[in-house]
Homo-oligomer: A and B are copies of this chain.
Amino acid sequence: MLTQAKTQSRHPAHPAAHLATKASPLSGQMLFGAVSLVGAQMSYSKGSEIHGEDEPAEYVYKIISGVARSYRIMSDGRRQIERFYFPGDIVGLEAGAAYTTSVDAVADTVVLLVRKSAVMAAASSDIQVARQLLQYTANELSHARTHATLLVRSAPERVACFLLELEQHLSASDIELPMTRQDIADYLGLTIETVSRIFTQFRDTAAIELPTSRRVVLRNRKALASLNS
């Protein structure tokens, strides 16, 4: 039942997500470990939905491998991506009764999941867990505000910020992009064409290399950073 609910998506032909109920292999760090909860591991194939907007917020997820995106569909049909989740990131913890965004897998993704109620119960009795929960939410807030400052800037500035953010997160200047141009555009509030044009513009000014369309090597970090605050 859980498996069904979680693995259906607009990619009907993908293999069923694999549910393996077992003790978390990654205990001892952050919330998942701290509360000594047993997490179920689950796989989502590229494009499948992890949770939908307005669904009851039943689970909290931790990305083990792969990448996910959190987004909202606006009334005009455009998709606004709020953030990308990478391995180690936790998804859905800030939700109230219901999730406020949809989250799906950008690439094949494995997550650990625990019931949100269990986390909340742990936070009620353990002040240390409560503190981590607050820290997590504060980090999300910080990211959301940074993102908002991004969206009022020029297109080249937005793309430069995005690349530097990614470099920071992956701690590598040789970046294998897991997301499409459309994902980047939706994250930055631009169109796919504009993103593409700015990539080639950065390549032409030797700020980056583009060995393939999905691989970016930062060459002139200073030129990119000069576009930032």
Contact = CB atoms under 8 A, between A and B. Distances in A.
Interface residues of A, number: 34
B127 A94 contact: no
Given A80-B149, A133-B134, 4 more contacts: A80-B148, A100-B142, A144-B148, A148-B151
30 contacts: A72-B149, A72-B229, A74-B149, A74-B229, A75-B228, A75-B229, A76-B229, A78-B152, A80-B149, A80-B152, A94-B141, A123-B130, A124-B131, A127-B127, A127-B130, A130-B130, A130-B131, A130-B134, A133-B134, A134-B137, A137-B137, A137-B138, A137-B141, A140-B141, A141-B144, A144-B144, A144-B145, A144-B148, A148-B151, A151-B151
Interface of A: 72, 74-76, 78, 80, 82, 94, 96, 100, 123-125, 127, 130-131, 133-134, 137-138, 140-142, 144-145, 147-149, 151-153, 189, 228-229
